[in-house]
Amino acid sequence: GFKDLINKFPKSVHADNAQFWIGDSYYSEKWYEKAILEYQKVIEEYPKGNKVPASLLKQGFAFLNLGDKANARLILQELVNKYPKSNEAKIATKKLKEL
């Protein structure tokens, strides 16, 4: 699976995508705590990767699904601050206005 790809090819251009998809698989199963941790790996291990904004967005939504608006706000605001021109930042800005 995705973990095998990451273990065998940690520097692969696809490794950050694989890590993101692990987070997404947990998110889709509503295992939000695990999803948050997997998205954090994308952010920390692939800080220049193209999945960082999406990982921050999904983390924010996962915190919301757990009822943790404070952490959701922090994460979504971080996304807007660091990646203001991203599509994810537009979604985050809209969500922040609703909170």
Cα–Cα distance measured from residue 18 to residue 92, given in angstroms and rounded to the nearest whole number: 23
Which contacts qualify for 9-12: CB closer than 8 Å, 24 or more apart? none
**What per-residue confidence (pLDDT) applies to 11?**
63
Is pLDDT of 56 > 60?
yes
**What per-residue confidence (pLDDT) applies to 10?**
58
Q: Nearest CA to 39 among 12, 20, 57?
A: 20
Distance from chain centroid for Cα 34: 11
Domains and CATH numbers, the chain: 2-98 (1.25.40.10)
Higher pLDDT, 1 or 39: 39
Higher pLDDT, 83 or 12: 83
**What per-residue confidence (pLDDT) applies to 16?**
87
pTM score, whole prediction: 0.91
Compute the mean pLDDT over every residue in the chain, rounded to the nearest whole number. Answer: 92
Which residues lie closer than 8 Å to 13 by C-beta, 6 or more apart? none
Dihedral sign (CA 87, 30, 38, 99): positive
